[in-house]
Chain A
Amino acid sequence: MKKQGEAAASEVQMVAFKLENEEFAVDIHRVREVLKMTRVTPLPQAAYFIEGVINLRGEVIPVVDLRKRFDLPESERDEDTRIIIVEIHESNVGLIVDSVTEVLRFSSAAVQPPPSRVAGTRTDLIEGVGKLDERLLIILNLEKILTSEEVISLDEVTFGDQPPAEA
């Protein structure tokens, strides 16, 4: 569902994806490509959440399993599983997600910084929150999440059942 943008104004386009029924979004300018799941060559002794590397038209790109990153139980990879290739720190990284839902347009007003303090949530790992009707899409701080070495659980990057208080 797309919301009609208000008069001209700046719009932000995002790619929405799902992890264990939580919805997230990534700025479309950072998304290079979305692929179907493909054969991944494992990397010995890389961090636990690094699935391995894939070949994208001659470029060798590392792939992160976001489920593993957020300490989620492994699940069957199915028809919906996708790899989103994003640009981080000038290199490309693939993210394995449960599904990619759609490309959404948000008016810039609808994108807000994360609330400063919500119990149980690592707001430093969240770049912002996009509101769309009843949906709340969390925009992750990918750089931090992928470079951090600590274990992060999904709860820490979502808001549970409570919508966050307005900042």
Chain B
Amino acid sequence: MEEYRDLFLAEAQEYLQNMTNCLLELEKDPSDNDQLTEMFRAAHSLKGMAGTMGYELITELTHDLENMLDHLRSGEITVGTDLVNLLFEAEDMIRFLVDNLESQEEYQGDVKALQDKLKNWEQFSPEKAAEAAQAGQVSATETEAAEDKAEPAAKEAQPDGSSVPKAEDIKISDLLNEFEKETLKEGMFKGENIYYIHVKLREDSLLKSVRAYMVVKAVEAQGELIKAIPSVQDLEDENFQDEFTLLLMGNPEAKELQSTIESISEIDQAHITLLDVDEELELQRDEEVEAAAAQPEQKEQRAPVEEKKEQVGKEALAAKAKDEKGDEKASPAAKKSRAASSLNRSGDKTVRVETAKLDNLVNLVGELVINRTRVVELGKKTEDEALEVSLEQLERISTDLQGAVMTLRMVPIKQVFDRFPRMVRDLSVEKGKDVNLSISGEETELDRTIVNQIGDPLVHLLRNSVDHGIENEEVRRKNGKDPAGKISLEAHHEGSHVVVSVEDDGAGIEPEKMKEKSIDKGIISREEADTLTDDEAVKLIFRSGFSTADQVTDVSGRGVGMDVVKTSIESLNGTVEVRSEVGKGSKFILRLPLTLAIIRTLMVGSAEEIYAIPIEAISENLFVEPEELRTIQGERVITLRDEVLPIYCLEESLGMGTFQEKEVYPVVVVQAGEKKAGLVVDELMGQQEIVIKSLSNFIKDIVGVAGATVLGDGRVTLILDVASLLEDGRV
């Protein structure tokens, strides 16, 4: 049975995610029977699987869940927030059990308690549901421990505040039910603000419902309307005097929002307070949550709640002590699993395929493409027209096949980006800074293998931005900046590359400071430092052993970060660049090829071997006469259109031979990042598309060699790693 465990886990996750999505949709639209049916189906399948695997607890629980859904389907009970909450609870518990297959038995008690609640389905019958909804509190599940308090940021001080409840008096829990609280929590993870909007209509207003409706619409355009008091329904039925309150979640400018609302005719005034909702809202998370900006003094760290956590962000919090906070009242599963990524509902449109099979397919197609090239070459030699036509078709079809297979490996970068909001949030809280992360272009697709490897460098860049880039609030205010720091993470396609950038509006990188630190660390000499331009000084950040942090924090500052980022990206055949302006911020730009497996190369001969140079690294080819070769300080150079170009003999650089005098030197001008040089070879042999084969672990770290390929005739040809060749120059 154990061999099926992985399969079970993978499928269970899918079903659970499916159920979550359905449940969310169902809550928005209780009449949507499709959601209900789908959810039922998912639960049923999950039950079957769990039963086959022998996981009794899961099977039973899912069975009870299924029952509930059945009662829903038959109309015996109706959808209400309490029911939905209970269903979510059940789902969380199932998910928790799935994540903890080994120790399932320990949770029998909790499961039993939950099952009892599920068995008590009649409480959700329409009559009972109406009663429960009124109170807005679910009795059985959680005990409300502390008082809920919300403190305002008090951005707009309104002189006439008489009818406006003081923000301190606002008790969020009194206003919201469980689901609304959950939605708030979700939003706060994502760094959204909560606005308490109190609107007063003119007393003589005639069309109150219309005006209210217009306000609601205006507000909804700026974010998510969490709650209306009285409810939207009542507003539309004019069941109110001339005041109402809205709770908005989003990130609009408060002033703008206010003027937008007040500009609606017959609105007397709108009072907007930014809510600082804290843990007393019983958020079962690890640290205090705060709304943006104005309340630095409310940053007390509270003892976090013990909880199942995702890997990301763990390191930042690992040091903190964790207390149990009333664990009996919380379902152990991470409630935020609900808030997590919105995976597309797979349904029947996808097939699960082992990555090994996919890789194999890609490999085979790669080989096919190589051989096709060869066949086409040979075909050209014969003058057979029929053959030529067939070959052309063959070429076209295999190119299409190649394209199609390449897309199999492409996945959206979203999977990597998804974990960052939480991470940045946790980190910014830890550092006591206010940082907003904005993400765009997450649907940009790249090769699966690259996606796997780009995570760590990005984590590092983001951490760096939060830790070193973004200044703390005081400094920011003093410099007239928004107290909340801004980091943008962006991805888009550019030709045959994917460009990912991390930009912050922080302190920027100071060239002078870089130079000083580098000299201190012995990375460069003073003389060298003096010759550097500002741009070059900024780039010192990529040298190993570098870190300007005065203290090593557990997040960054050990001086191993940026150079590792650079090498990781370069090992993916990509490049990393930095642009920075002191006081304004920094931008790190990563450029990665769309795919790893097949590249176009130029074949060159050198010392009786053939080498492949990736076309992307080549800027031009030349033939150099002996007279053009000069020497400067013992290094060979030529002048190329006003530029001095260092010349290396490929044989020498690889340690395979020495420079030989010739009548004319074929030179390949290569470039990696900012470095440029000319490589002298014996022969230029033409372009070829090749399949990259990785070198075994045994010999992975050979300087100058990026991989190998097999040519049509079976021989192994090495692919040159231009970046490392230019690093060392002549070895």
Contacts and interface: CB of A to CB of B under 8 A. Distances in A.
Whether chains A and B associate is: yes
Interface of A: 39, 41-46, 50, 52-55, 58-62, 88-89, 91-93, 146
Interface string B222-254: 000000000000000000000000000000000
Contacts of A42: 609, 656
Given A41-B609, A60-B696, A53 B731 contact: no
Those 7 A-B pairs whose CB atoms lie nearest each other, nearest first:
A44-B654, A41-B716, A91-B696, A60-B708, A60-B693, A55-B710, A62-B699
Contact of A41 (B655, B694, B704, B708): B708
A95 B705 CA distance: 22
B697 A91 contact: yes
Interface in B635-686: 654-656
Given A41-B609, A88-B698, A54 B703 contact: no
Interface string B89-130: 000000000000000000000000000000000000000000
Interface string B703-731: 11100101000111110000000000001
Interface in B501-534: none
Contacts of B717: 41
Contacts of A46: 699, 702
A79 to B, nearest CB: 21
30 contacts: A41-B717, A41-B718, A42-B609, A43-B702, A44-B656, A44-B702, A44-B704, A44-B718, A45-B702, A45-B703, A46-B699, A50-B699, A52-B716, A53-B695, A53-B708, A53-B718, A58-B363, A58-B693, A60-B694, A60-B695, A60-B696, A60-B708, A60-B710, A61-B696, A62-B696, A88-B698, A89-B698, A91-B696, A93-B698, A146-B698
A53 B715 CA distance: 10
A54 B655 CA distance: 19
Interface of B: 363, 367, 609, 654-656, 693-699, 702-705, 708, 710, 714-718, 731
A88 B696 CA distance: 11
A91 B699 CA distance: 11
Contact of A92 (B609, B654, B656, B696): B696
Nearest to B717: A41
B716 A53 contact: yes
B603 to A, nearest CB: 14
A50 B696 CA distance: 13
Contacts of A53: 695, 699, 708, 716, 718
Chain A CB within 10 A, most for which of B363, B699, B705, B714: B699
A44 B609 CA distance: 11
A59 B693 contact: yes
A50 B716 CA distance: 15
Contacts of A91: 696-698
Contacts, number: 68
A41 B656 CA distance: 12
Contacts of A146: 698
A45 to B, nearest CB: 5
> What secondary structure prevails in chain B residues at the interface with A?
mixed
A52 B609 CA distance: 12
Given A39-B715, A60-B716, A45 B731 contact: yes
Given A58-B367, A60-B694, 14 more contacts: A41-B609, A41-B708, A43-B705, A44-B654, A44-B703, A45-B702, A58-B363, A58-B710, A59-B693, A60-B695, A60-B710, A62-B699, A91-B696, A93-B698
Contacts of B697: 89, 91
B715 A55 contact: yes
A39 B713 CA distance: 12
A61 B710 CA distance: 11
A79 B655 CA distance: 30
A103 to B, nearest CB: 26
A52 B367 CA distance: 22
Contacts of A50: 699
Contacts of A89: 697-698
Nearest to A38: B714
A62 B655 contact: no
Contacts of B714: 55
Nearest to B366: A58
Given A41-B609, A41-B708, A55-B710, A93 B696 contact: yes
Contacts of A92: 696
A44 B697 CA distance: 16
Contacts of B695: 53, 60, 62
A144 to B, nearest CB: 14
A62 B702 CA distance: 12
B730 to A, nearest CB: 12
Contacts of A59: 693
Nearest to B692: A60
Nearest to B607: A42
Given A53-B695, A58-B693, A60-B696, A44 B705 contact: yes
Contacts of B704: 44-45
A54 B708 CA distance: 10
Nearest to B693: A60
Nearest to B696: A91
A53 B707 CA distance: 11
B716 A44 contact: no
B367 A43 contact: no
Contact of A43 (B694, B718, B731): B718
Nearest to A89: B697
A146 B699 CA distance: 11
Contacts of B656: 42, 44
A50 B655 CA distance: 14
A54 B716 CA distance: 6
B655 A45 contact: yes
Nearest to B704: A44
A15 to B, nearest CB: 20
Contacts of A43: 699, 702, 705, 718
Contacts of B367: 58
A118 B196 CA distance: 85
A39 B693 CA distance: 18
